[in-house]
Amino acid sequence: MRNMTSTQNPSSNPDVSAWSEGRSHSMSLEESFARAAAIMAQLRAPGGCPWDREQTFDSIRRYTLEETYEVLEAIERKDWRGLKDELGDLLLQVLFYAEMAQEEKLFTLQDVTDNLSEKLIRRHPHVFANREGVETSAQVLQNWEEIKKSERAGVTKEQANSLLDEVPRSLPALMEASKLGSKAASIGFDWTEAAPVFDKLREELDELRQAIASGERKAQEEELGDVLFTVVNLARKLGVQSEFALRASNAKFRRRFADMEASASGMPSIAELGPKELEKLWDRAKTNERKGTASE
C-alpha cells in the first residue's frame, strides 16, 4: 500500500512499545499478529498518521485490489521473497478494514478470525467431524457447495434475491463471469462438456459480425461482451482460469514486443515501420522465443 505507514514509530504507543524491533523475530505467532494489529490501531488513533486516519472503507478498496494483483504477480514470477512482502501488504488491508469496523462498533478483528475458523471447521466436516465418503478434491468441492447452500437457507429473501447475488460485482470482469457460470452450473444450468460451447461461440461471433456490419456501437459492445462471456465459460469447462490465462498471454505479448524493439535497434523508430516490417519482427520474436533466445 502506497501510504505513510512505514514511516511511523510504533514504539511511541505504550501498547506497541512492548514489542520492540529487536524482539520481533522471537515472538510467537499470536504476539506477532497482536503487534501488527496494535500498530494499525495506533496509526488510526488521535496523533497517529494523518493519511491513515483519513481513510474510509470506500477509499482503500482500490489498494485492496492493487495488493491482490501484486500477490498474484509475485507468485507468477516465483518471487518468494517478494511474495512474503506482498502478503504482508494484503494482510494490512484486513487489519485496516477490521480497525475501521471496530471504530464504528460493527465488528472486531477477533470476530473476523473467529468467523473464519468456525467456517473452515464447518465446511470441512471430513477433517474435523470425521465424516466419511470425502476422499477426492471433487468431493470436497461438492461438499463445500452443499454446506454453503444449507448456510444460505437461513437468509431471508430480502437479503438474497438470487443465487448470483453471492458473486460480488466488484470482481474483475473475467473472474466475475467465471464465478457466475460456476454458480449457474451448481443448479445444472450448464453445458455438459466443452464441445457445445464452441457452437455457442460461433453463434456469438456471427452476431458480433452482424453488429459490426450494422455500425451500431452499443450493439457491438453488447455482442463483444457475449463473446467474451462465452470464452470465459469455455475456459471454465476446460478447467482453465481465464484470468490467469489472459495474464500469461499479456506477459507473453510483453516479452515478444520487447524482442521486436530489440530487433529493431539500428532501424528507424519502431513507430515508423510499416505493417509488413512489424509483422516480420513479430514472427522473428515468436521464433526467438521458441528457441529460447528472446530478448527480455
Q: Per-residue DSSP letters for 87-126? A: HHHHHHHHHHHHHHHHHTTS--HHHHHHHHHHHHHHT-HH
Question: What is the predicted pLDDT for the residue at 11?
Answer: 40
Cβ-based neighbours of 82, under 8 Å, separated by 6 or more = 74
Question: What is the predicted pLDDT for the residue at 25?
Answer: 66
Among residues 117, 5, 115, 116, which one has the least CA distance to residue 60? Answer: 5
pTM to 2 decimal places? 0.60
| Rounded CA Rg of the chain | 25
How far apart, in whole angstroms, are the C-alpha atoms of residue 296 and residue 291? 14
How far apart, in whole angstroms, are the C-alpha atoms of residue 185 and residue 163? 11
Among residues 90, 125, 95, which one has the least CA distance to residue 113? Answer: 95
Question: What is the predicted pLDDT for the residue at 295?
Answer: 47
Chain-centroid distance of CA 225 in Å reads: 21
For 273: left if phi > 0, alpha if psi spans -120 to 50, otherwise beta; the answer is beta
- Cα→Cα distances 76→1, 88, 223, 271, Å: 20, 17, 32, 31
Kindly report, residue by residue over 121-131, the tens digit of the pLDDT: 988 888 887 77
Report the half-sphere exposure of 76 (CA within 13 A, side-chain side): 16
One pLDDT digit (tens) per residue for the chain, 296 residues:
444 443 344 444 545 655 555 556 678 999 999 999 999 999 999 999 999 999 999 999 889 988 998 999 999 899 999 999 999 999 999 999 999 999 999 999 999 999 999 999 988 888 887 777 677 888 777 777 777 777 766 654 445 578 898 888 878 889 899 999 999 998 899 999 999 999 999 999 999 999 999 999 999 999 999 999 999 999 999 999 998 899 899 999 999 999 998 888 777 778 888 899 999 999 999 999 888 755 44
Among residues 248, 143, 239, which one has the least CA distance to residue 193? Answer: 239
Question: What is the predicted pLDDT for the residue at 199?
Answer: 95
How far apart, in whole angstroms, are the C-alpha atoms of residue 280 and residue 278? 5
Question: What is the predicted pLDDT for the residue at 160?
Answer: 57
Question: What is the predicted pLDDT for the residue at 148?
Answer: 75
Question: What is the predicted pLDDT for the residue at 56?
Answer: 97
How far apart, in whole angstroms, are the C-alpha atoms of residue 92 and residue 33? 11
The dihedral of CA 81, 10, 18, 64: what is its sign?
negative
